Amino acid sequence: MHDSLRSLPTKDLRKLVEEIQSTPGVDYSGRYGAVCPVCGAERCRVTATGPWIGSCRERFHRCRTCGLRFKSVETDHVGEGSA
């Protein structure tokens, strides 16, 4: 976890994660990348990648076909469903 996030109270960190998870964004696959929500171009170029916050990470993209800038959200599903 990024050092600046370690200093946040747990309640604030949870709120931040919930806010990121509720913000619209396309799904990001480490295997297939992100698909442009406007023109459908695949594997759009990543322009910035944020830190992992909980089990989520935001990435920002620019479509090479239509030029759209958009956000994707990558989710780490490892360990989900464990007791």
Domain that holds residue 42: 24-83
To the question of pTM greater than 0.85 for the whole model, the response is no
Q: How confident is the model at residue 4 (pLDDT cuts 50, 70, 90)?
A: low
Any domain includes 14: no
- Split into its structural domains, the chain has a count of 1
In the prediction, which pLDDT does 52 show? Answer: 95
Q: What is the pLDDT of residues 26-45, one digit of tens each?
A: 899 988 899 988 888 999 99
Average pLDDT over all residues of the chain: 82
Place of tokens 């919930």: 18
Any domain includes 42: yes
pLDDT average, residue stretch 39-67? 93
Any domain includes 50: yes
Any domain includes 38: yes
Q: How does 52-70 read in b/e, with b if 16+ C-beta sit within 10 Å? A: ebbebbbbbbebeeeeeeb
